[in-house]
Amino acid sequence: MTPACIIDMHTHAGRPGRSGPVDRSVLDTMRAGNVGAAVVAAVADLPVIRRNPTTRALEAVREPEPGECLASTREQLGLYDAAGVRIAREPEEIDPDDPSIVLAVEGCDFLEGDLDRLDEMAERGVRSIQLAHYRVNDTADIQTAPPVHGGLTRFGAAAVRRMNTLGVMVDVAHCSEDAVKGIVAVTDRPLLCTHANLLEPGAPGGEHPRFISLDYARMVAGTGGVTGAWITVLYQEKFDGLIRHALRLIDAVGVDHVGIGSDMPSGVAQTEMPDFTRHKDIAGALLARGLSAEDVAKVCAGNWLRVFRAARARA
């Protein structure tokens, strides 16, 4: 992997409204943006979350019908299958000269108490699963709603163990800090927190409810895991903020534990990174701020690949 090659560890590329077919033209910009792979996430709680008209925050507005989240997740993954872009299922299938996507699911709402559905997702090529999103489900509490479970549930712990066994990366993004404590105690593989920035009290927007504490980031790093710097809510700093927050994470937990998880095209990424063409600027920006070529390669691709390899070593 060269420093110019990027792996974006969390996107919704080609589905800006989370509805309708995937826009293949967006995925086709990966090569121009020096993107070797993009993780694309189906949103399991999509049928039941809406943006609050007052706060503009996403939140669950109702409980899902039986099977509703599973059906939606299957449909969303099927849309990526139908897009005709190469899907990488193993680390060695990622080639910077032949860009691919990696399938992920954001939230375990599709499980409904049935761990065998994780086997189904792994069989169809999903390689990264986030326990929770904007709905407190039966696995874990989330950052943006009052706690219900006191962290990770017993079922959530069983889900983490099953994902470890299946070779699926466990993503703790959106999970409460107490939930992460429980996940760290259970996992035997490195964790991902695919899209988050460190809290920055006193700075504009620096206490966003989705930002994480230093302890949170250190727990992820302590497993050998990686946190992805996140652009979505950086309305003032925009692209430069993505780079600054990546550097803050590097200072906090070390260069071996930081990646890029843009969440594009959500939020400010709609204008800053609506497709992959600007991803090529990430490596240059990090180099310009003093990182070595070796360290840039780690942040841009190598760290996430290391976690992917560790996960698949059990499969």
Lowest-confidence range among 20-24, 188-192, 277-281? 20-24
Q: Tell me the C-alpha distance between 193 and 306, whole Å.
A: 14
Over residues 254-280, mean pLDDT: 96
Q: Residue 295: its pLDDT value, please?
A: 97
Comparing CA positions, the residue from 235, 61, 270, 21 lying closest to residue 145 is 61
Contact call for residues 228 and 6 (beta carbons, < 8 A) = no
Q: What is the pLDDT of residues 67-94, one digit of tens each?
A: 999 999 999 999 999 999 999 999 999 9
User: Which residues touch 190 (CB under 8 Å, ≥6 apart)?
Assistant: 169, 223, 224, 225, 226, 306, 307, 310, 311
Average pLDDT, the chain: 96
Checking if the pLDDT of 1 tops 70, the result is no
Residues for the chain: how many in total? 315
Q: Between the CA atoms of 149, 150, 155 and 158, what dihedral angle is there, to the nearest 10 degrees?
A: 160
Grade residue 20 by pLDDT with cuts at 50, 70 and 90.
confident
Rg, Å, the chain Cα set:
18
Q: What is the pLDDT of residues 101-111, one digit of tens each?
A: 999 999 999 99
pTM of the model: 0.96
The DSSP secondary structure of 78-110, one letter per residue, reads HHHHHTT--B--SGGG-BTTB-EEEEEEE-STT
Over residues 148-177, mean pLDDT: 98
How would CATH label the architecture of 6-312? Alpha-Beta Barrel (3.20)
The DSSP element (H or E) to which 164 belongs, if any, is: helix 154-166
Over residues 194-207, mean pLDDT: 96
Q: Residue 2: its pLDDT value, please?
A: 46
